[in-house]
Amino acid sequence: MIVRDKLYLGGSWVAPGNAELLEIRSPHDRRILGRVAQAVDTDVDAAVAAAREAFDNGPWPRTDPKERQEVIRRFDALREARADEIAEAISAENGSAGWFTRIGQPFLSRQVNAYLRAAEEFGWEEVVEPSDPSVAFDTIVRREPIGVVAAVIPWNSPFSAAMAKLTPALLAGNTVVLKVSPENSLSMMLLADLFHEAGLPEGVLSILPADRETSEHLVSHPDVDKIAFTGSTRAGRRIASIAGEQLKRVSLELGGKSAAIILEDADLPAVMQGLRFGSLGNNGEACILQTRILAPRSRYEETVTALKEMVESLKVGDPSEPDTFIGPMIRPDQQQRVIDYIKLGVAEGARLVTGGPEVPEGLEEGNYVTPTLFADVDNSMRIAQEEIFGPVLVVIAYDDEDDAVRIANDSDYGLSGGVWTSSAERALGIARRLRTGTVTLNGSPMSFDGPFGGYKASGTGREYGVVGLTGYVEHKTITRHR
């Protein structure tokens, strides 16, 4: 059993304000994995004070951008050397299947490298030529760090969510207090070890596991200049209201209920292979998953049958076993939430094709849910409109291309989406009509070079690449006589 009784606060390991340690339990069998310190309001105050001092008087914001890039490169090399350990830690805490946490490690390097390329090409200070040659002054545009960043991330993909915020914030010269979920206390302490070894200056980074009430104390803190949040839309609305009251900079990456549009000419076996990952990856606990499957009426039953076979082929069980595809939900309350949605789908009149509310046989000690497929779903049903965050798919019939686009866009969310067809031109045409931040065509992977974020209730702001880096800078214009 692992015991981590100190917090990573301002670059040092310190005793927490509350000495009581939180038990971290395995979602597979609920045994105790470790005990870890949790932050309280006084720890947040100390972390923000350290970040404020490091930003106002320390070297990091004034360090040459190339030197900051080198620190991030060192961190990523250290992380890569411990990739297997990190993957195992996340699987143990989250219940994410090993295949998912292992393939996530190279993706982290791609994510970081995309930010590094953006930072290398970024115009940190540029002289802009006047549009009117007769103007007798120069314009200098500077991009400067915002200040103290409060980054708040969820439990479902902790390293990826952390790096989506830490990398651009640090590259831009900000100082950061990263609030992580209690469920990820063990793996996030590994993240603290890595950044400490990479050589960040004192005060630049704190990593604090804490509950929701402590999170609100952090984002409300008067010395925080920007909030970067990933999580539920409900929590995002609360954070946006706090940011609005205090005029803090804010970016929100929130929920999704994304649609995968299958056209008549799609190759169904290829579609099924893609939807295994794009609709059921990470146990269904991912905001970008395409859990509304839109199928043409001409191939509706054929699609439902293919989906049934695919869903039933996925092994559910111990996430540490190499052939497990779907592991347990992270907590018992999340397990019950998903089961309640399955019961709701039956009550709403959807056809239960496979799965159901019963826990898989032999896995009753863990937080398991049987992967479930509903057909004959109307897009107005709650199971089609609300984010379930579990291995539950719904299949919705459409009449023609216009109808498919209408149904896909008929959602409060707009985070992701997909199109499956043998016609590249047709796929691109539909993608341009979808009101969503990211669209994948025929199962293509998500890009870390392009911006990632959502329309509508899926959030504000963007992450990744140049656009993501821009979200962590202020723009200053200086004019001088020529």
Report how far residue 284's alpha carbon sits from residue 233's, in angstroms, rounded to the nearest whole number: 17
Token readout for 1 is 């059993």
Q: Which of 331, 405, 402 is nearest to 366 (CA)?
A: 331
From 93, 287, 387, 463, active-site residue: 287
The set of residues, in sequence order, having a beta carbon less than 8 Å from that of 415 and lying 6+ positions away, is 254, 255, 256, 258, 287, 288, 436, 437, 438, 453, 454, 455, 458, 459
Q: Give the DSSP per-residue string, 17-71.
A: SS-PPEEEE-TTT--EEEEE----HHHHHHHHHHHHHHHHHSSGGGS-HHHHHHH
What's the DSSP call for residue 284? G
- Report the Cα 6 to chain-centroid distance in Å: 26
H/E element, 178: strand 175-180
Positive or negative torsion for Cα 467, 469, 473, 475:
negative
From 253, 285, 387, 463, active-site residue: 253
Q: Say if CB 27 and CB 18 are below 8 A apart.
A: no
Phi, psi dihedral angles at 51 (to 5 degrees): -65, -40
- Catalytic site includes residue 287: yes
- Catalytic site includes residue 253: yes
Token readout for 332 is 């018992």
Q: Which residues are catalytic?
A: 253, 287
